[in-house]
Structure 1
Amino acid sequence: MKKLLVPSLMLLAACATPLETCKQSAVKDLRIVQALIEDTKATIDRGYAVQTETRTVIYTNFCIGTGIGHDSRFNFCNYSHPVTTKTPVAVDLDQEKRKLISLQQKEMELKRSSRLQEQKCELQHPPSA
């Protein structure tokens, strides 16, 4: 039962109505700016930024052949694995504060335009009864 439940829920989540899709599109930029505001606030509170870097590391291991023909011996196998590191980075806090003010102003503009766009979505895609 549980094996069927998870894929079914994932399938239902992917089935957004045209109204939901339109509304999600209307607030996309607003959500991005809000995430940037939260990140900038965290940077100001910490006093430094955190730079995230992901790189791929190649590991070598022993593996067994396929077993087809004479390929049943031990071999070396390489596989890649992503490794993420976080490094503290110095920032200009005054510049971060100016950036925060700018982002907050942009957020207010986007809130207004998002509300208008959501209203247009409701007019274009009336809910079915």
Structure 2
Amino acid sequence: MRIALILTLLALAACASPQERCVRNATRELATVNRLIEETETNLARGYTYVVEPVPYRFGVSYCTGRVNHVHACGRHETEYRRRAVAIDGALEQRKLDTLRARQKDLLTKARPAIEACGVPVIGS
């Protein structure tokens, strides 16, 4: 089932027109900056952010070999990842947001000619 889903998604991705691929390539960094702006605004609104931390744990029983070639039971180590809320420095986040917005403006200016070169009219230009 998982392989079928992956193949379907790959087929759909291949269906993008050359024009769509051109625009996506021209605006890739802008899309990243837009996501970071949204995330930073959310963090400022709630006053904290989330960090993802690895948490090691023992899972099940495996068979291991020792130094003298005997087999014994031992635990298998796995890593789980958990989100944890962390307070933010509001002033620092605001400076980060201001920097991201300035970068967004710069990228928009640079993206317009690239998008137009893809054959897509840019609204508001």
Category of TM-score, reference length = shorter chain = 0.5 to 0.7
Amino acid in the other structure paired with 2:45: D
Amino acid in the other structure paired with 2:58: Y
Residue 67 (structure 2) aligns with: none
- Native 8 Å contact 2:62 2:76 kept in 1: no
Amino acid in the other structure paired with 2:39: D
TM-score calculated relative to the size of structure 1: 0.65
Structure 1 spans left out of the alignment, 5+ residues: 65-72, 124-129
Between the two proteins, the alignment pairs up a number of residues equal to: 114
Q: Which runs of 4+ in 1 moved over 6 A?
A: 2-5
- Distance between the aligned counterparts of 1:38 and 1:63, measured in 2? 45
Secondary structure class of the residue paired with 2:41:
helix
Amino acid in the other structure paired with 2:38: E
TM-score calculated relative to the size of structure 2: 0.67
1:100 and 2:97 are equivalent in the alignment: yes
- Distance between the aligned counterparts of 2:112 and 2:75, measured in 1? 55
Change (3 A) 1:8 1:36: closer
- Distance between the aligned counterparts of 1:21 and 1:106, measured in 2? 23
- Distance between the aligned counterparts of 1:3 and 1:28, measured in 2? 27
- Distance between the aligned counterparts of 1:25 and 1:35, measured in 2? 16
Amino acid in the other structure paired with 1:81: T
Q: CA RMSD in A?
A: 3.2
1:118 to 96, 115, 119: 115
Change (3 A) 1:75 1:105: same
- Native 8 Å contact 1:60 1:76 kept in 2: no
Q: Kindly, what percent of the aligned residue pairs are identical?
A: 21
- Post-superposition offset of 1:98: 2.9
Amino acid in the other structure paired with 2:88: A
